[in-house]
Amino acid sequence: MRILKSSWLQILVHIAALVPLAWLVWDFTQGHLTANPIREIQLRTGKSTLTLLVLTLACRPIYTIFGLKQALQLRRLLGLYTFGYASLHFLNFVGVDYEFNFALIWADIANKRFVIVGFITFLILLALAVTSTGEWERRLGKNWTRLHRLIYAAALLAALHFIWQTKADFRVPFIYSGVVVLLLILRIPRIAKVVRIGGKWLKREQGGQGMVDEI
């Protein structure tokens, strides 16, 4: 039964992660990507990347507070989808917007700070995606854990990239940034300990309520 639940949960994650891409393709074929479709694609793939990155970071706190082991099992899947959307974001910038004109790309990297931050974020996500397999985990040993802690740096850099490239309404970038900071705070040892204690208390309360309901 647990395997069945886990499989259904993964299927739902696959569907939910692919919806933004399907919506983007539909709008592209229907000509609904505003007057500047390249920028619209860049914005949508960027938001999808950051959303999936936040969900990946949220798996551990969800497990800690609610005891849902399935959340931990989804981290790798969500992480790979994060890299997938980041790749689309990067390829749209390099291949579609700049048509692989590396002289212009280098000029942007040198003169625009949000491009530098975005490029560093992509390199981190690339390293994490390449080493996400069990074989790499065994090969790297303890260094695998150290390497994959860079996901927190990637999240902060992605949020900063979003803020710096925004020209007008900063509300959404700051909301994303606030969520990222909150998830990072929950990783601080003392705070994580308090959260674990609160999670155990919540599970005991839920267990007690379940007994009352049965009675």
Tell me how far the alpha carbon of residue 81 is from its chain's centroid. 8
| Residues of the chain above pLDDT 90, percent | 57
CB contact at 8 A, 159 and 116: no
DSSP state of 18: H
What does the angle CA 30 – CA 48 – CA 168 come to, to the nearest 5 degrees? 85
Give the domain extent around 165.
2-214
> Domains in the chain: how many in total?
1
Question: Global pTM?
Answer: 0.86
| Mean local confidence (pLDDT), 116-133 | 95
Q: What's the DSSP call for residue 190?
A: H
Ramachandran area for residue 100 (φ above 0: left; ψ -120 to 50: alpha; else beta): left
> CB within 8 A of 58, min separation 6: which ones?
71, 183
Q: How many CA atoms lie within 13 A of 93 on its CB side?
A: 22
> In the prediction, which pLDDT does 2 show?
52
List, for residues 202-213, the tens digit of each pLDDT value: 555 555 444 333
* 17 in Cβ contact with 78 (< 8 Å): yes
Task: List, for residues 153-187, the tens digit of each pLDDT value.
Answer: 999 999 999 999 888 788 888 999 999 999 888 87
CA distances from 176 to 48, 65, 131, 159 (A): 11, 21, 26, 7
User: Whose structure tokens read 């303890």?
Assistant: 142
Report d(CA 201, CA 179) in Å as an integer: 24
